Structure 1
Amino acid sequence: MNNIAESIDLQSEKIGPRLKEIRNALGMTVEEFYSPLMKAFNNGSSIENNKRNLGKRLAKDIIEYYNINPGFLDTGKGDKVLKVRPYHKKTFQPRPIDPGESVPFFDVKLTQLHAGLPDIFSESTPEYYVNYRPFNDCAAYLPVYGDSMNPRFVNGEIIAVKEVINRDVILWGEAYLVVTDERANSLITVRLLHQHEDTGKIILRASNPAYGGDTVIDKAAIVRLYIIKGKITRNQL
């Protein structure tokens, strides 16, 4: 079975749903099914929903671990499993998950987020989860669109945002994701923060000099504040 995954069209949009069929036939949850094989087991949902491709190595591991019929995975015909191995489910123990172990990536534009929600990401579905230790204390990964923050952040890069609990402690000149209420037109934006002479106000500034003019808002209008802890490129995911 060494090369069995290579004989399957893993790019087919049918692969994900067939994996889900197999998992459901075994009576297993996403965590039960993928956790023995994937550290970020939630990525299994993305694979089943065709939001993430199934790689050859993972396909081989899944087929061998559950003795899956590769013919069913490839064509949807025949038995789902060649020989049921119920001991996988019986001996399964959920792997303890560190809350900071992986961070959701939301492939959304800032204009798609809602400032009025207690959690601006609550109506967005993660594409997958990223386990990158330096940023595992962050709230989310988000893509960069546009060039207003160039050269600090380039279009296509991905930023890691960490919520600021104490908004009185701000690193002036650093980039933040700022979420405001109606007093600032429910603005959600990534900008450099600068101190205003009026301590009750704050300056939002683009890092791209082509975007002239500062935006000044009341500090009280900020409902959520996230520091941009760092960035990665898509090929690092």
Structure 2
Amino acid sequence: MLPAMSSILERINKIAEHEKVTISSIETRINASKGVLSRSLRTGTDISSKWLTAIVENYPLYNAEWLLTGRGEMLRDAGDRFTVKQISKLRADRDKDVQRIPLYPMAASAGIFEIIASEQHLKSIPIEYIHIPRMPECDGAVPITGDSMYPLIKSGDIVLFKEVHDKTNIIWGEMYLAAIKHRGDSFFFSKYIQKAEREGYARFVSANSHHQPVEFPIDSIRALAIIKATIRFQSSF
């Protein structure tokens, strides 16, 4: 067993108790097979580091240092240092003195369909609310996984978004969350959207140069939200 793994298992169980959910629900959120966590809790066997990372990314309100080492408080508090970076400020945007922005879980299996697609929006239950002053109006926030927009957005950052209901209102060159369904495959990513040379297509471009641009028909976009700002916690992971 890895050092202190039994203590980590106990802390995962505390997260489940605090969230008032089952371990099976946590497995679903982190896109793990049924039994990956519950089996370890029952037998005391090691949990793969990728599942610990997934817990950190999908439960951003919990102190990662506490989960991994037991040091500090279980929940992040005002003492955690974080930075808010505004990504998009359009001419029509009006800052609000303060707003209560719902924070949604970002399980890989759920994708954006349960978060920003209009027909699903009411079915998504926020895990918390973020109070942000002097920021353009936002519809929600989600933690991001992956490195396609690194270094602007890194895995674990929280992005604040504003839904786009009409795809003809895409502002070329801005950064978006997009859910795509094309030729039977579904994709979800955060990227810049540029106008493609092909008529009726959009070009999705990463900040990370290791990711090649891709093009999809605009009609394949199932849900879209412009990224207004990011939140990055500075506490040690």
Normalising to structure 2: TM-score of the pair? 0.51
Alpha carbons 1:111, 1:188 under 8 Å: kept = no
Alpha carbons 1:184, 1:217 under 8 Å: kept = no
- Is the deviation greater in 169-178 or in 189-198? 169-178
Matched residue SS, 2:219: helix
Structure 1: stretches of 5+ with no match in the other structure: 1-11, 18-45, 47-51, 56-97
Tell me: CA distance 1:183–1:53, structure 2 relative to 1, closer, same or farther (3 Å).
same
Kindly indicate which of the two structures has a greater share of residues assigned to strand: 2
Aligned positions of 1:29-108 closer than 5 A: 53=75, 101-108=99-106
Q: Does the alignment pair 1:209 with 2:209?
A: yes
Structure 2: stretches of 5+ with no match in the other structure: 1-13, 21-60, 62-73, 78-95
Deviation readout 1:184-206 (Å, 9 max, x if unpaired): 72222111111111230001121
Matched residue SS, 1:133: strand
- Is the deviation greater in 132-141 or in 107-116? 107-116
Structure 2 residue identity aligned to 1:219: I
Tell me: CA distance 1:197–1:167, structure 2 relative to 1, closer, same or farther (3 Å).
same
Question: 1:141 — aligned with what?
Answer: 141
Aligned positions of 1:53-202 closer than 5 A: 53=75, 101-113=99-111, 115=113, 118-135=118-135, 137-183=137-183, 185-202=185-202
Alpha-carbon distance, 1:170 to partner: 2.4
Alpha carbons 2:140, 2:162 under 8 Å: kept = yes
Tell me: CA distance 1:215–1:125, structure 2 relative to 1, closer, same or farther (3 Å).
same
For 2:105 and 2:234, the matched residues in 1 are separated by: 15
Alpha carbons 2:106, 2:144 under 8 Å: kept = no
Question: 2:225 — aligned with what?
Answer: 226
Alpha-carbon distance, 1:143 to partner: 0.9
What's the RMSD between the two structures over aligned residues? 3.6
For 1:16 and 1:124, the matched residues in 2 are separated by: 15
Identity %: 22
Alpha-carbon distance, 1:157 to partner: 1.5
Alpha carbons 2:136, 2:228 under 8 Å: kept = no
Normalising to structure 1: TM-score of the pair? 0.51
Structure 2 residue identity aligned to 1:108: M
Alpha-carbon distance, 1:53 to partner: 4.8
Deviation readout 1:131-186 (Å, 9 max, x if unpaired): 21344621211112121110121222111010113322323222101122354722
Alpha carbons 1:184, 1:221 under 8 Å: kept = no
Structure 2 residue identity aligned to 1:231: T
How many pairs does the alignment contain?
149
Deviation readout 1:27-49 (Å, 9 max, x if unpaired): xxxxxxxxxxxxxxxxxxx9xxx
Matched residue SS, 2:168: coil
Alpha carbons 2:111, 2:179 under 8 Å: kept = no
Of structures 1 and 2, the larger Rg is shown by 1
Tell me: CA distance 1:159–1:220, structure 2 relative to 1, closer, same or farther (3 Å).
same
For 1:157 and 1:16, the matched residues in 2 are separated by: 21
Tell me: CA distance 1:192–1:163, structure 2 relative to 1, closer, same or farther (3 Å).
same
